[in-house]
Every structure is written in structure tokens, then in C-alpha cells.
Structure 1
Amino acid sequence: MRVVLSAWGSRGDIEPLVALAARLRELGAQARVCAPPDEEFAELAARAGVPLVPLGPKVRPVVSGARPPTAQDAFRLAAELVAARFDTLTSVAEGCDALLATGLLPAGARDVAEKLGIPYVFACLQTYGLPSRHFPPGARPGRRSSPEEAGPTDLEVLWEEDARRVNALYREALNSHRAAIGLPPVGSVRDHVFTGRALLAADPVLLPWKDLTELHLVQTGAWILPDERPLPAELEAFLDAGAPPVYVGFGSIASYVPEDIAQVAVAAVRAQGRRVVLARGWAGLAPVDGADDCLAVGEVNQQELFRRVAAVVHHGGAGTTTTAALAGAPQVVVPQIADQPYWAARVAELGIGSAHDGPTPTAGSLSAVLEAALTPETRARARDVAGAIRTDGAEVAAELLLDLAGRGGPPVSA
């Protein structure tokens, strides 16, 4: 059995695919991951013993610039990624039994599967961006409605507009490539990519999806890649030198985080009488001074580290939220973009941490929400919820995928 898994996005998009590929290989299948050619993704795949095929441009230059990507950047990238999927996936998926795609809207993946006559599965790591009668779509590049065209509560109109913006981004390139391989044009790119049935790789405690979207989702639980790496000696020594510190990290959303976030976060943690483990991340966060109460670290085993900290201050990515929840660590979420406000609200709702109001904290505002997260009650609640987080999501998804591939499935999953 041969399966191809594809995504273009940050580590939060790629690591779950590597976890799924590793589980597929344990079950005897051949699994390959098509992902951006960033060095850290290649290292991640190699550590898990999973072959990685480069797809599209590197992600880090796109999200780690001095400014967030512009609309013009988005339109150029959309066409580039469609072309990359037709090129790379056509060769990699030849002779395979199924193709699964996730990450930034994977226009082109279903089309390759259609041409090759193999099942296609769309997977999502959250419900953000999926059509819903309960919440509006997120921001996309393209024309927006005027107030006369869509009021703030007219969700049907807003989601129709979202479909048009997706078409503006992808349809010309997609249909051009489809025509080149003898396939008819697609009307709604968004609906074509999503299909009517998708896998949801998120924990049901953290993301109870019922009624959040009109799609039919099969929720497997998060796809977690076990990490057995020891912590660096310097970090071990820092942890052993005093009371549990507070972890601060903002992952790979470098161009979105406030420029002074390191200074603000360190001041907020110190105001609570705690030491700081500062994750450099793609934003290159660095200590504000030479004091010995702050240690900067690179990419480390978060699964182990989060078990040993007093709290985790982060941006609210799905992966970081799940890792912290599984470790039983209280969280402070400072959401910046996309699905992050949802995770912030969910952390607060579950009582396993606090959500900062808005993406730009001050030392005072961050200290206040951190104080709430550091209470014994929050710590106890975080530990209780940790016991309810599923760890078998990758296994569930692998078995579903192999069952679909073994049955042959429909030529393209509907």
C-alpha cells in the first residue's frame, strides 16, 4: 500500500503529516510526505524516518519577512503552489493508492488524484475557513463586500463572497492545469478542494466541531509525533536551578508578532516572580539583557519541556495548544491570526489557561492574564484535561486511510 501526504504551510501543518506518515509506515504501508523544502522540515521527517519530497517554495521567507505577505504576494504564491502540486504530486503519486492533502488550501491535489484515478482525502487541523452558518469566514486577499452588500450577520452572503475570493486566487491557474491534462473546469475551487467529507485532525476536547461547519467531518484526534529527544544540557541545568519557569514562544509567525514581544513577555513573567524560557522561533526572539533568569532556546522537545514549566505563553497555534494541553501545562494565548483566536477562547473556556484580549500585549496586560494562569486552580484543571486528550489520532487516521485505499474508494472522495 502506497500513500502520498501533502501540505504547504508552517511546522504546525507539516509535523502532523509526518506523524501520520510514521504511523502508516508502522502499519506496513509506504508513505511519503510532500512538503516545503525548509531545512527544519527535512530534519523533522528524517528524525521520524519518513521520506520527504520538496513541494513549492520555502515557507520561512514568506512568513518571516519584515512585513506580512501582501495581497499581491498571495496571488503570486497561489499560482505557484497550484503549478507545484500538479508537477510534484503527479510524479510522486503515480502508482499510489491514495492521496491526502492539508495545509494552505491545497488546490491541485484533488485534480492530480482525479487524473490518476486514486482516492483523494482532504484533511484539516481546525475548522477555520470551513463554511459555517455560525461564524463568518476569515480574511482572504481580494475584493470585500460593501456594508450594503453584506451586513455583519449575513453569513450566507459572506461565505459566498469567500468562495469568490478563493476562485480569484486559484481558479484561473487550477483550470488551466486541469485543461492541460484533459480535465473539465472547476466552478467553486473551495468546495472542490474541501469535498463534502473531510478528516479533522484535532482533539475532540479542544475542538468539539459539531455544528461548527456544514461539511461532514470525521474527527480522528490530533496527529501527534512522539518526541523522545533529551533536552539540551543547558536547558536541563536551567530547569534544575530553580522553580519551574514560564515558557514563551511564538512559533513560525514571525512577521505578525509585535516587534517588542520579547521585551513585553520577559517583563510580564518577571512581574510574576518567574524565570523565562524564551523560544527563539522564526521571529528570532532574544533575551532583553544578560540576566540569568532568562534562557533562550532553539527547537527543542516541547512535549518534555512543557511538562516542566509553570505555564506556556504562546500564539495559539493548533499544535502548540495541543502539546501544552497534553502536558497539563497552564496556557496563556496571545492570538495573532487565522484560527488562533479560536484556540485562545477555547483554552479560556476549558479553564486550562487564559486568553489575552488582542494580539498586542503590554507588560501589564500580559502579566495580568499570566497571573490568572498561574493559579493552583488553573494548574489542577490543566492536569485534569490533560488526561482526556487523545493520543491515538494518527493511528485512527492511518487505519481509515488504509481502509479507503484498500477498498479502492471512489476515484475522488466526495
Structure 2
Amino acid sequence: MRKTYTASTYSNDTLESSRHNTIRASLNDNDWNDSPPPYTLIAGDSNTLTGNDGRVSLDVNSKLARTLSVFIKDRPEQSPPEYQESEIEEFAQPPPLNIVIQIVGSRGDVQPFIALGNELQKSGHRVRLATHDIFRDFVTKPGLEFYPIGGDPNELMSYMVKNPGLIPSMKSMQAGEITKKRAMIREMLEGCWRSCIEPDDATGAPFVADAIVANPPSFAHVHCAQALGIPVHLMFTMPWTATKSFPHPLANIKDNKAEPSIINRLSYAMVEWMTWQGLADVVNGWRETLDLEPVPTTEGPFLAYTQNIPTTYCWSGALVPKPSDWGQHIDVCGFFFRDTPDYKPPQDLQDFLNAGSTPIYIGFGSIVLEDPEKISLIIAEAVRITGVRCVLSKGWAGLSNVSQSPDIFELGDCPHEWLFQHVSAVIHHGGAGTTACGLKNGLPSLVCPFFGDQPFWGEMIHAAGAGPKPIHHKSLSVDNLSEAIRFLTTPEAAEFAHLIAQRMSTESGVQTAVQSFHRNLPRQTIRCDILPHLPAVWTYKTSSKHTIKLSKLAAELLIDRLKIDGKKLGMNELRTYIIENKRWDPITGAASAAIGTTVEGNEDDSRSILSSHQDDADNKSLIATSAEAPNQKKQNQDGKRIAKGFGKAGNTILKGGLIDIPFALAEGLRNAPAMYGDKPRDFGPVIDWKTGGIVAGKGLVFGLYDGISGLVTEPVKGAKKEGALGALKGFGRGLGGMYWKPNAGLAGLLGYTMQGIYKSVYSAIHTGTRKTIAAARREEGILLLAKARGDQSFDLGQIVTAFEEIKKDDCR
């Protein structure tokens, strides 16, 4: 029988003994592979961290919560098609791709993806890891390509320590840190885009991404993927996908009497909503530079969900099993471990390790402390009281052996993979990489969290019996740290940690993650029709209008041999992203479109005025020191900017009245039958004038047909299921369909047609990004062709022959 335990099971200290026995029994159970004790963070549990720990207090009775709860309830469950075993086997080895891995965060966030990158290289992929400039050597030493995206992780860590939650402190706002952070995010968004299409900054080798792997905090991932028409796969170290099993790790939900499963799902929506509200204008402003339309307000927080983005979680399923309500495109694969670095310790470290009892490790990695001396003094005194020996990592925190104790060794840079084989326990900040390395080596662990996923890992370790309750760094004292050290050095703690390590040894996190990535790649569109072992990035229509998918190499050779016109190459979209407001009924659909139009128009006005005020502030010193008076020029510039803003606002309102509101009304009417259990027809997305006309025509024809025929078919369906009562229900559905469906068809004549025309016009005007992508792909194709010519074993003539054969087949 499957055993389950929750964090609340362990919240009472008087139950520690029985708690340990229960966990031990589960860990020793013969069928532990089938029944791991899950970590479940219970909302409102007394054991969860509270206060300034990076979690956001959420009131589930607030207006926002009520609105989002309706949004969640009304959204139908979505999931990609189920994979058949035969399909998975057939697609086990995709063609070699250019993969960019986009990571924002600390060294601990980057390190697991180095392991992933090396494993992807073993499958033949070309891998570029795009992250902060400071990690260049860290990335390139193991053999990965590197691309700098900007951003200072030291500054990011410092900001997060001061503002661990989603809401910044007043002190940070007064110091202008919010403006700096937003500017840094814009810099990183632009850096992430360049990482997809620009040559290697060291070698000059052309590179255009065929797929993206990213952690959610990089933010640019799905937008870059949409611009390129390529797949994106999210990988992360803490839950970011809504589930009924446990709330969002950043959510601290106030006491409530609502159903826990609903509250848990709601917590993800609320955290995502708050994050998006702080970044929406930055992201949408950047999307404009990629020729992408702004993301609607109600869609921004939920893109990973609505776009069915494959997601892999990099933790051990032995500790946090995959929730049952996560789809097949979401995996829990195990921790990512790189190979143990070839490391020889300095003599003084080796002498310390050999001089006495096995020491414990204390270090906070890439965390930047506000008062490192205070924390160093607490550590020194706790080490003295407990009589342990300690390896103290200085890290970015700047910890030091302030007491000059011979039992404390002050450590510089040293790989955890090596060091953790020589210590007995670890005390750290709760970074995923450090947590994983400690558990892998069977080390009891104490987490002193600062922000982000760190409280999550601390609670997880405690719930599994491998460490004491986490101690927030601001609550750290000599007494509680000493007590925690005593717990870490008990045989019981060592036993639990050892059992967890045993279970983790059966997992292959990086290999499983690569399999997950391969399994979720598009099967139908990814291979070149002429060279199936290469990915297709182009499409070419023959005279008979047959579309051929071409790789960079095949296309470039055919252009070189004058078999095709390079100007007629189209983009092969491996993955298409349709980002638009989902409308579930006509009233809220049209109303939200109207509100969105008004809000966007006001925002256009406000941005122009704010931009003018910002320029005023920036030019104060110039005006004060200049002999000339630039006031008149400045006023003219302000007037032009504000006029442009009002013009843009007018265009927004015009678009809303002619396009957005009619389209929202049509979609709302089409989806209205779902309110009473009838499944609406899906006519496909509107992406241009042609598809707009098709959808409008289908909508009208099927609206009239389904509306009339439903009076007969719906009662018959109902009678087959529930007899007379079902027939009566079916008659009600038929009456509803008679009203909604023809009206949806009529509304769609305007709504879908205008939406299609708008999409075509927008695409025709905004061509800069597509031209940039095409030029970059051609440049890489030219290089590949040059290499192929130098390869005596490669017959270029086969490409031309295969192309001619395809053309002949088309003519038959």
C-alpha cells in the first residue's frame, strides 16, 4: 500500500521520535521505489517558514484571488497528445540541433546545466550556454560554447537578499534599485535574444538556435522561441507548474477554510500574476523589437500552461514525486550532476582534513550578505560550543574565521563534488546544486534560506528526516545554530541522509532530462526531406506547390547550384505559438477586450509622459551647467513624444473597436456552449487573412448546421447516456446551441475576418526580425557547405539528385 506523508505530519516536536521511525520504515520499505514519501508543503502549516523568507503572503479571500479562482476553474484542462511507446522509440535520436541553454541566476543555477549541456553534446547536438559574463570560464572549461547575456549575478543576489519576496522593500524603492533591476532584466532579455542568432563572440562561428532550454527566471525563452518558430523546453529546480498537491514554494497562504487542492493551484496563479505585473511592460516593450505583438494582460502569467511548454524538474522523485495532475509533457527526472572535476586540494586544506575528526561544512555560495562579520561571529561561537571542526567557505558572502580558531578552515574556491566526500554534514543556503550534492553524498544538511527555492529545499530535507528545520538567515543565532549542529552530528541524521543517498543512486537525472527533451521535440516538422539526418529550417514550394523541408546545408547547395531561388525560402516553423486572449463566454470576452483596450491606451499615454519626466531628470545636470538654454528644444521633443503617445493610444483604441472586441465576442460566443457541457468546434488558429476567412466561413456554416441539428442530435446523445433524463438535458443543450452557435457564426464573419486581415498586415509590416533570422541561417549554411566540400566522404551530388527526384514525383 502506498504511504504518503506531509510536512504537517512532522510539525510537532513531541512527535520527532515517531516521525523518524515512520520515515525510516518508509525508506527501508521493500517497495520504496513505488512508494516514496512525498514532500508536501501544506498551506498555513506551522512548520512552513514565515516572515521575510522570500515567500509572499497571499490572501485567498482577496479580490485578486477570487478573480483568478474563476479563471482557473473555467479554463479547460489542456495537455499535449499522449505519446505511444512506438513513437518514443522511433524518435529516440533526433537530428543534431543547435541548442541554446538560457540561464539566469547564481553559479549554483548554472552548474547543473553544464552537466546537461555535456550530455546533450553526447547526442551530437551543438550546445551554447547563455548566461552572465562572469561564468565564461566556468562554462567553457568543460567544453561548452558560451554566450554572455549581461546582468550581474552579484548584484542580483544582493537585491534578492534585500528583497526576498516578489514585493520590494520601501528602502530598495527609495534607493532606485527597482529601476536598476528592471534595466538589468531588459539587458538580459536582449542578451538572450542575441544568444539565439549571433555568432560565437570568441570564434566568430555562425549560430542560429534550433531549440531552447531555459530556466523560468530567464523570462526570454518562450518569446525567443516564438520569434524563431522553434521548440522551447523549461527545466527548473523548484515547482513552477500548478498542481493540487502542494502550493507554490514562494506562496505563504494565510489561514483559510477552502479546499486545499484548489488553494494550492490558486497559489501558482497568484505568484505568476504578481511576477508578470512587475515585468509586463518591460517584456512587451522588448517584444516589439522582435516584431512580436504584446502579450495580453490575462495571458502573460500563464504562457507555459496555455502553450503546453514541456517542463522537466531537476530533483529526485524519491523526495518530491511527480504530482498526479501533471501531464505527460512534465517530468521529474532527478538531480543534475556533472562529473567530479579533476581537483587536487591545496596542501593546507589537505592537512586540515587529516588533522582531526571529520569536519562539517558551512557556506552560503553565491549569496551576498549585508553583514558578513555578524554571521561569521555566530558561526565561530557555535563551532566552539559544539566542539566540531569546520570548513568555512568564504564564497560571495565574505565569511571569515573572525576568531582565528584552529578548528575553522577558511576556504576559497573548491568543487563541492570533491569536498563533500570529506565532510560529515553541511550547512548552506539551500541552493539546488548544493542541496543535491549534499544529499548525493549522504550528508545531513541544515538550510539557512535567503530567497527563492531555498526554503523549499530546507523544508524538503527536514520532511525527509535528513536535517533539522530550516533557519532563516535573519533568525540565525548562536543557540539555534548550535542546536542544529548537534542534530546534524547524530547517528540518526546520518542514517536518514544515507538512505536518501541510496535511493538517489538509482537515478540518472541528466540522462533522463535529455530523454525528456528528445521526447518532446516535434516529430513531423524537424527533419530535412533530402538529408533526414539534419534538422529542417527552411521550406520551399515547388512549381506544383508541394512544400519541401530543407536543412541549412541542403538549401545552400541548391541555391549554389541554381536549383532554387534563395529569396523564395520560407521559415520552417518547428513549433508555432499562438498567444492570444482565451475567451470562455461572450460577456466576459467582449468586456475584457474592451477593458484591455482602454488600459493599453492609457498605458501608451502614461509611458510617453513618464518618458518625458525621466528625460527631465536625466538632463537636470546638463541644464544647470550649460551656457545655452535648451528649454525650447526640450519642449519640442516632449511635445513630439507626447503627441506620438496619444497617437499610439488612438491606434490602440481603434484596433480594439474594429478587431479585438469583435474577435473576442466571436470567440466568446463560440465557446459559450462549454458552459453547459457541450464541446465547441475548433476551427484552428487565425494567423493570416486566408485562415481568417476560412475560420469565418466554417464558423458560419457549422454554426447554422450545428445549431439546427443539435435540436435532434443532443437529445439522442443524452438518451443513450442517461435515458429520459439525459434526453431532457440534451434538449436543453440543443436549445442553447440553437441560440449560441448561429450567433457565433454571424459574429465570426466580422471578428475572424478582421483578425486575419490584421495578422497579415502586421506580418507584412514587421519583417525586420524574420530577415535577421534568415540572414543568420544563410550565413551558417554557407559555412556548413564549405565544410561539406572539404569532406571527401560526403557526396554533395546526392542532394541535387534527391531534390530532382522530389520534383519529378510532384509532376506525376
What is the TM-score with the length of structure 1 in the denominator? Answer: 0.87
User: Over residues 165-199 of structure 1, what are the superposed CA-to-partner deviations in whole Å (9 max), with x where a residue is unaligned?
Assistant: 22323222322333333333222333225653311
Question: SS of the residue aligned with 1:381?
Answer: helix
Aligned to 2:771: none
Aligned-residue offset at 1:232 = 2.6
Aligned to 1:123: 235
User: Structure 1 253/130 Cα, relative in aligned 2: closer, same or farther at 3 Å?
Assistant: farther
Alignment counterpart, residue 305 of structure 1, candidates 416, 419, 427: 419
Alignment counterpart, residue 59 of structure 1, candidates 153, 162, 168: 153
CA distance in 2, matches of 1:256, 1:320: 21
Aligned to 1:225: 338
CA distance in 1, matches of 2:160, 2:291: 42
More helix as a share of residues: 2
Alignment counterpart, residue 210 of structure 1, candidates 323, 330, 338: 323
CA distance in 1, matches of 2:576, 2:311: 12
Unaligned runs of 5+ residues in structure 2 are 1-95, 164-171, 200-205, 527-573, 579-812
User: Structure 1 207/51 Cα, relative in aligned 2: closer, same or farther at 3 Å?
Assistant: same
Query: Is 1:395 aligned to 2:511, yes or no?
Result: yes
In structure 2, give the amino acid aligned to 1:107: F
The answer (yes or no) to whether the contact 1:98–1:120 under 8 Å persists in 2 is yes
In structure 1, give the amino acid aligned to 2:189: V
The answer (yes or no) to whether the contact 2:222–2:232 under 8 Å persists in 1 is yes
The answer (yes or no) to whether the contact 1:68–1:255 under 8 Å persists in 2 is no
Structure 1 segment 239-278 matched on structure 2, within 5 A:
239-255=353-369, 260-278=374-392
> How many pairs align?
405
In structure 1, give the amino acid aligned to 2:483: A
CA distance in 1, matches of 2:266, 2:319: 29
User: Over residues 224-256 of structure 1, what are the superposed CA-to-partner deviations in whole Å (9 max), with x where a residue is unaligned?
Assistant: 111232333221111011110111001112146
The answer (yes or no) to whether the contact 1:230–1:301 under 8 Å persists in 2 is no
User: Over residues 293-332 of structure 1, what are the superposed CA-to-partner deviations in whole Å (9 max), with x where a residue is unaligned?
Assistant: 1111112121221122121011111111110000111112
More strand as a share of residues: 1
User: Structure 1 335/213 Cα, relative in aligned 2: closer, same or farther at 3 Å?
Assistant: farther
CA distance in 2, matches of 1:328, 1:164: 38
CA distance in 2, matches of 1:379, 1:102: 32
The answer (yes or no) to whether the contact 1:220–1:397 under 8 Å persists in 2 is yes
Aligned-residue offset at 1:211 = 5.7
The answer (yes or no) to whether the contact 1:170–1:189 under 8 Å persists in 2 is no
Aligned to 1:85: 192
Aligned-residue offset at 1:412 = 5.0
Alignment counterpart, residue 277 of structure 2, candidates 159, 168, 175: 168
User: Structure 1 174/315 Cα, relative in aligned 2: closer, same or farther at 3 Å?
Assistant: same
Question: SS of the residue aligned with 1:308?
Answer: coil
Alignment counterpart, residue 138 of structure 1, candidates 229, 247, 250: 250
Unaligned runs of 5+ residues in structure 1 are none
CA distance in 1, matches of 2:216, 2:103: 5
User: Over residues 332-389 of structure 1, what are the superposed CA-to-partner deviations in whole Å (9 max), with x where a residue is unaligned?
Assistant: 2222222212211211121222223433211111111111111112112212211111
User: Structure 1 412/262 Cα, relative in aligned 2: closer, same or farther at 3 Å?
Assistant: farther
> Is the deviation greater in 9-18 or in 384-393?
384-393
Higher-RCO chain (CA-CA 8 Å, sequence separation at least 6): 1
State the identity %.
26
CA distance in 2, matches of 1:206, 1:74: 34
CA distance in 2, matches of 1:215, 1:186: 26
Query: Is 1:279 aligned to 2:443, yes or no?
Result: no
User: Structure 1 266/257 Cα, relative in aligned 2: closer, same or farther at 3 Å?
Assistant: same
Structure 1 segment 63-78 matched on structure 2, within 5 A:
63-64=157-158, 68=162, 70=172, 72=178, 73-78=180-185
Question: SS of the residue aligned with 1:16?
Answer: helix
CA distance in 2, matches of 1:382, 1:154: 32
Aligned to 1:347: 461
Aligned to 2:223: 111
Query: Is 1:3 aligned to 2:99, yes or no?
Result: yes
CA distance in 1, matches of 2:189, 2:235: 18
The answer (yes or no) to whether the contact 2:198–2:208 under 8 Å persists in 1 is no
CA distance in 1, matches of 2:112, 2:371: 24
Aligned to 2:290: 181
Greater C-alpha radius of gyration = 2
Aligned to 1:45: 139
> Is the deviation greater in 307-316 or in 157-166?
157-166
Query: Is 1:411 aligned to 2:575, yes or no?
Result: yes
In structure 2, give the amino acid aligned to 1:225: R
Aligned-residue offset at 1:68 = 2.4
User: Over residues 384-404 of structure 1, what are the superposed CA-to-partner deviations in whole Å (9 max), with x where a residue is unaligned?
Assistant: 211111552112222333454
CA distance in 2, matches of 1:252, 1:109: 24
The answer (yes or no) to whether the contact 1:131–1:215 under 8 Å persists in 2 is no
